[in-house]
Chains A and B, each alone.
Chain A
Amino acid sequence: MSTTAPTAQQVPTPETVPVRTRKRKHRRANPWGVVAWIAALGFFFPVFWMVLTAFKQEADAYSDPPKFFFTPTLDQFRAVFDTGVGVSLLNSAFATGVSTILVLLLGVPAAFALSLRPVRKTKDALFFFISTKMLPIVAAIIPLYVIVANIGLLDNIWALIILYTAMNLPIAVWMMRSFFLEVPGELLEAASMDGANLWTSVREVILPLVSPGIAATALICVIFSWNEFFFAVNLTAVQAQTIPVFLVGFITGEGLYWARLSAAATMAALPVVLAGWLAQNKLVRGLSFGAIK
């Protein structure tokens, strides 16, 4: 039977092969990339403009046509600090931090119970959690105000902490459950064959695997808590004021000082934006995991 493969004598050895130019595989430049860039710049522009304006003198901020070039200054930021933004920042940080910790403390065991050790009525409990998110919070604000006032927690940061925990817990449970579901059952089986009890398995096997997911969940809780406005504006006044409330108060007081407003807005938004940027992959993972599972 004839073959078309070279026989022993005809194998091209490296010396006999004529030097050919090997075509390097070019990644063909994607023309749609340009469109993507335009879209991205367009979406980002408002934020960019806000930050830019924060560095302007008031006169520069008010110009028609808008000014792109000017001498930057930090005066606006200084002015904002002088009006006491520090307290609000601290309040926001405190409320965000403590409520996120509470969410994790309550949510991780709950997610665990709902995923790795399914009980009867798992679906019911899950649905209950989700349903709490579906109810418009405005329906509860009146009695909440009354209750909070009666307990004496008005204008107290702890009222916000409790509410933020309740606000984020359903999302956190839902997200972390999906991360727990990702853990292959065989790992737990292997661990118990190796002699680990449940608690040790959780600590040594599950938590390391799930920790990126927990970080993602925490990040999302931070974002929602920091940016929350409705409860804050209704239940706080001066002492427990969070940064969004400060911002609003700043406006009514300093109505037309755009540059200063921009500086205040920048400071309000900056921490979470930076956190989101830095932990971007976690954020994306957290959001998309809710989808995939």
Chain B
Amino acid sequence: MTTLAVGASTADDSERIRRVRDAKSDAVSRAEGWRRRGPLLPALIFMIVVTQIPFAFTLYYSTQSWNLVRPGSRSFVGLQNYADVFRDSQFREVAVNTVILIVGTVLISVVLGLLLALLLDRVFLGRGIVRTLLITPFLVTPVAGALIWKTAMFDPVFGIVNFVLSPFGVGQIDWVSRYPLAAVMANLVWQWTPFMMLLILAGLQSMPRDILEAGRVDGAGAFALFRELTLPHLRRFIELGAVLGAIHLVNTFDAIYMMTQGGPGTASSNLPFYIYQRAFLGFDIGQAAAMGVVVVVATIVVATVALRLIFTSFTGKEEAA
């Protein structure tokens, strides 16, 4: 016979639950905890050693006035280097370039990637080959890719871009000299669009089809379906692509080295390249280190703000279908 249990007093219940919970945590022994964490340690230790120690040194160097060209002049100058950095107008210009490069490349490649992903979502003849061709720019060594763009594409006389545009009355423009930042951005967009496309395509293909059917039955036309259902679903993937892309683009170096060497002047230089110049060509370790620290701090600030404000996917929230 089942007893119709009248609710026992809640105080007893919570007391019991607390007792069981205490018993439970005793059960998981200390050794078990280490055994669980163990496999993680080698990787963790390796990363800490290889990444944090150099950064600690960077912090140290940034407080030194140290130029390799003048040996023996090394001395502690506190935050003097930082002051110089902020007064450096070229640094500001280069910082702006960096932002332009990142934002521009991400925006354009996300839009292009979205369009391409939409195209690839439907079946058509040779779809596999098309995808193969489209991912190639991402695979090509960036240095080689930049080389192709600089020579075969943008060369004023022999470049393909001018050849294609000549029927429209475009003369022999030296793209790399006249529009250096745009030229670099073209190369970067070419390189990163496949990545965005693949991510967004994964998003499109992970969408449950019956929701789209429900939308159709509910009276939504193709555009309404895209706006109301597909795009919200894709948001997570676009965000992820944008974040990952931005992180990598902060470090853009190969393209600039190869295409413009930062020039003319610093018109197409970005932060990594500028710092590289300071350190390895100008031998000013202290200044370069300070710049490096500034870049790191700025990146952390921007990343935290961006992650907190805009991006929900990184906190691990998932929307159930």
Contacts and interface: CB of A to CB of B under 8 A. Distances in A.
- The answer to A–B direct touch (Cβ < 8 A) is yes
21 contacts: A30-B123, A46-B160, A50-B144, A66-B158, A110-B42, A113-B36, A128-B47, A132-B51, A134-B247, A135-B299, A135-B300, A140-B51, A140-B292, A141-B292, A142-B285, A170-B47, A173-B43, A229-B254, A229-B257, A291-B199, A292-B206
B190 A46 contact: yes
A251 to B, nearest CB: 7
A134 B139 contact: no
Contacts of A152: none
B279 A244 contact: no
B125 interface: yes
Interface in A94-134: 106-107, 109-110, 112-114, 117, 119, 123, 125, 128-129, 132-134
A45 B136 CA distance: 10
Given A247-B143, A291-B236, 14 more contacts: A33-B126, A37-B126, A39-B130, A64-B157, A107-B43, A113-B39, A136-B271, A136-B272, A147-B57, A227-B142, A229-B257, A247-B141, A276-B136, A291-B203
Range class of the A interface residue count: 35 or more
Interface string A245-287: 0011001000000100110011011001101110010011001
A40 B119 CA distance: 11
Contacts of A45: 160
Interface of A: 27, 29-30, 32-33, 35-37, 39-41, 43-47, 49-50, 53, 61-66, 106-107, 109-110, 112-114, 117, 119, 123, 125, 128-129, 132-147, 162-163, 165-166, 169-170, 173, 223, 226-227, 229-230, 233-234, 243-244, 247-248, 251, 258, 261-262, 265-266, 268-269, 272-273, 275-277, 280, 283-284, 287-288, 290-292
Interface residues of B, number: 94
Contacts of A47: 136-137, 140, 148
A145 B280 CA distance: 10
B149 interface: yes
B78 interface: no
A173 B43 CA distance: 9
B54 A140 contact: yes
Given A64-B158, A132-B51, A280-B131, A110 B44 contact: yes
